[in-house]
Structure 1
């Protein structure tokens, strides 16, 4: 959990294993998968499955945000926009709903700089 808490990116299980193994010599990849599954079931972490990439993880206590995924590098960039969130809430509210959870993923390609 410490390794994931320190992450500034969205590591997959293999990357978490690579980062954690020096701290816990002998740690197996299956143990990492089982731990991630248990933490996800408990709501401690969130799993993201971006198109064309293995599942990646982040702490659940982060504020709501959406993602842009660079299709060239696979990097996931977090963003939040009230100009996007507010219309979604209005659309859900019109027939009497509150948004419980949603996810927006923009797949992008760098065109300059």
Structure 2
């Protein structure tokens, strides 16, 4: 939290009660990847004066400041998670098409490919995003399996 407060202060933004409420939800969330609507629903239960537009504006601000990362999961929608500089480049996702679960994995197998692309394209790569779509173990289990 102190690191986030430093970022806000450094960029001349105050930690308003609304921003603090949203930040606390992101920090304490059991579900790592949340939509703006999910954040709004949780926030509204404790702070009924907060509107959905405020949640979107706050998430946009947090994204611009590098506090949160916005993730687009096609049918899973746009979700947000706290950003972490340490795992930014090695933080990828498996997206289940059955139940929409998102499974994180923190391994980067793309270092060689990324270096080759950067060299061939004369392009300085600062980050990349990798998502695999498929079915988790729960969704692959037979639905009507009867015990033997």
TM-score (norm 1): 0.83
**C-alpha distance after superposition, 1:64-99 (max 9, x if no partner):** 3110000111111110224x1333344235436553
User: In the alignment, which residue of structure 2 is the partner of 1:23?
Assistant: 46
Output the CA distance in 1 between the equivalents of 2:54 and 2:44.
11
User: In the alignment, which residue of structure 1 is the partner of 2:58?
Assistant: 35
Deviates more, 1:87-96 or 1:24-33: 87-96
Output the CA distance in 1 between the equivalents of 2:28 and 2:117.
35
Aligned length: 112
Deviates more, 1:31-40 or 1:85-94: 85-94
User: In the alignment, which residue of structure 1 is the partner of 2:67?
Assistant: 44
Structure label with greater radius of gyration: 2
User: In the alignment, which residue of structure 1 is the partner of 2:103?
Assistant: 77
Unaligned runs of 5+ in 1: none
User: In the alignment, which residue of structure 1 is the partner of 2:112?
Assistant: 87
User: In the alignment, which residue of structure 2 is the partner of 1:3?
Assistant: 25
> Per chain length, whose mean CA-contact separation is higher, i.e. which structure has more relative contact order (CA < 8 Å, sep 6+)?
1
Q: Give the structure with the larger helix fraction.
A: 2
Secondary structure, counterpart of 2:126 in structure 1:
coil
Secondary structure, counterpart of 1:22 in structure 2:
helix
Unaligned runs of 5+ in 2: 1-22, 143-148
Alignment of 1:61-72 (within 5 A): 61=84, 63-64=87-88, 65-72=91-98
TM-score (norm 2): 0.66
CA contact under 8 A between 1:92 and 1:98: conserved in structure 2?
no
User: In the alignment, which residue of structure 2 is the partner of 1:59?
Assistant: 82
